Amino acid sequence: MSITNPSLTNLSKAKVFDGWHKQYQHQSEVLNCGMRFAIYLPPEATPENPAPVLYWLSGLTCTDENFMQKAAAFQKAAELGIAIVAPDTSPRGEDVPDDPEGAYDFGLGAGFYLNATQAPWKKHYQMYSYIVDELPKLVEDHFPVSGQKAISGHSMGGHGALTIGIKNPEKYTSISAFSPICHPIIVPWGRKAFRHYLGEDSAQWAEYDAVELLKSRPANLPMLVDQGDADTFLRGQLLPETLEEAAKEAGAELTLRMHSGYDHSYFFIQSFITEHLEFHARYLKEK
């Protein structure tokens, strides 16, 4: 499929497992800056046979490159006929504000997949709208993919996948996450980011917290969460037990799997990414 959007620039491409990994730059109207994303297209994806898409959201400090280069997902994606889209984790550019102290857990690389309401962040940090609306439209307009979507992510991206999927069950078939920040309104990472991006209104914070969302609305999508018990962030930042309890009370379809000895790294993701792709394929093929 040819790319006709003049703002969409191909930065790189590589053939892998008979499909193509491609990286693009484009101008985002929602984020008011240039953005980069990567897409893996499986071998049989054509305009006549469009592929369903798994959107992958990465964690703090990451870009589109971390998952695509480290997760070892392409062989199984090619086998299942699933495209993968990996966006960046925040807006970037000279005019985009950053944490004045240069901290890794806020600002550039730490968009938290929300729509900021506070100055100076609200001009650019509209990652929720970018992921839910702008990026999928761009991808569906210019690549051989269908409107069938699933969503997954890691850490901060796991938080994004859970909250976006729970809030938009009509847009996605399934949700999965590795080591997600499950209850951000009560942990340091989330409280810092939410206070800056959203102000002190706790009702706005709850709109981007998977545990709080499960308490307030039906959870219609199947969810798979994997967590390592050797993860150094498990007790202080991630709190999967809070998600499990909220899902149980809400009657949500959540499978939480704890894995002995695994940490927060991409070695953990590599170990179970095939199972996540197979999980999503079951529901993508039902639609």
Catalytic (active site) residue 7: no
Compute the distance between CA of residue 149 and CA of residue 103 in angstroms, rounded to an integer.
33
Q: Which of 15, 157, 171 is nearest to 86 (CA)?
A: 157
Assess whether 231 carries a catalytic annotation: yes
- Residue of 124, 154, 196, 264 marked active site: 264
264 belongs to the catalytic site: yes
The CA-CA-CA angle for residues 260, 161, 166, to 5°, reads 110
Q: Which run of H or of E encompasses 23?
A: strand 19-28
Spatial CA neighbour of 280 closest among 153, 180, 168: 153
Which alpha helices (H) appear in the chain, and where do they start and end? 65-70, 74-80, 127-129, 135-142, 156-167, 188-198, 202-206, 210-216, 240-250, 266-284
Question: Catalytic pick from 90, 152, 155, 174?
Answer: 155
254, containing H or E segment: strand 254-259
Cα separation of 182 and 200, whole Å? 20
- Give the HSE-up count for residue 149: Cα atoms under 13 Å, Cβ half-sphere: 23
Give the rounded distance of the alpha carbon of 188 from its chain centre.
20
**From residue 9, how far is each of 2, 26, 34, 60 by CA, in Å?**
12, 6, 11, 25
Active-site hit among 64, 209, 226, 231: 231
Nearest to 92 by CA among 7, 22, 32, 139: 32
Contact 26, 34 (CB under 8 A): yes
Would you name the residues annotated as active-site residues?
155, 231, 264
